[in-house]
Amino acid sequence: MKSDVLEIFKLSMKMQERFITENLHVLEEIIRSIAGILGRGNKILLFGNGGSAADAQHIAAEFVNRYLIDRPPLPAIALTTDSSVLTSIANDFSYDQIFEKQVKAIGKNGDAAIGISTSGASRNVIRGLHAARQLGLITIGIGGPPQSPMKDECRYYLDVHGAPTPRIQEVHLLIGHTIVEIVDGILFGTIRED
């Protein structure tokens, strides 16, 4: 059992190292972009399915409440939380439209939309990002393989690939935490933009 536990941790660390080696520049651009969006009073919309829905909610909570420092709340909304909206859209139209319709209802030019999908191929996430792009939102994908279908709808795309879904999700959560922490530092004076 000990070797199995060690193997899981080693693979997770390997995935984190590989991700940051391949994506650091894009992650920096995303952080600057989100800091600017929030600094201008715009909001972030986050969405995904399953574990990615939980990540969207987790990161929205970190922005709205606080992360490491006490500071004013920042506007972030997880589009995965309103069961009446989700089920009515899925029932009356299609599950593929659950994020698209919400983006069209509350997204505004200058906001950001962050779609999260470990496969990079979730149709409802892709449609949500497409709607966001059409409305002039900054579109960010936290995805899977480098050539995922959702990449085409993203201004910025972070690829995490080459491991089972749980290891990808672990990197996704680290990405979210990193974005919140550095954005807080930029907006509230503890980190200087280079």
pLDDT in tens, 45-78: 999 999 999 999 999 999 999 999 999 999 999 9
What are the residues facing 159 on neighbouring strands? Answer: 143
What own/partner pairs with CB < 8 Å and gap ≥ 24 does 27-34 have? 27/158, 27/175, 27/178, 27/179, 29/156, 30/140, 30/156, 30/158, 30/179, 31/178, 31/179, 31/182, 31/183, 31/186, 32/186, 32/193, 33/112, 33/138, 33/140, 33/156, 34/112, 34/140, 34/179, 34/183
- For residue 10, the surrounding DSSP H or E stretch is helix 2-39
Calculate mean pLDDT across residues 91-106: 98
The packing angle between helices 83-92 and 98-106, to 10°, is 120
| Closest of 80, 64, 52 to residue 175, by C-alpha | 52
The pTM of this model reads 0.96
pLDDT at 193 over 70: no
Q: Please answer whether residues 139 and 110 qualify as being in contact, where contact means their C-beta atoms are separated by less than 8 angstroms.
A: no
Give me the residue label for tokens 């506007």: 75
pLDDT at 2 over 90: no
- Res. 98 pLDDT band, cuts 50 70 90: very high
Calculate mean pLDDT across residues 148-176: 95
Average pLDDT for the chain = 96
Q: DSSP class of residue 69?
A: S
Calculate mean pLDDT across residues 154-158: 98
Segments making up each domain of the chain, as ranges? 2-187
pLDDT at 192 over 70: no
- Res. 121 pLDDT band, cuts 50 70 90: very high
Looking at residue 113, its pLDDT comes to: 98
- Distance, first Cα to last Cα, the chain: 45
Mention every residue, 6+ apart, whose C-beta is less than 8 A from residue 5.
none
pLDDT at 162 over 90: no
CATH of domain 2-187: 3.40.50.10490
* Whole-angstrom distance, CA of residue 64 vs CA of residue 57: 10
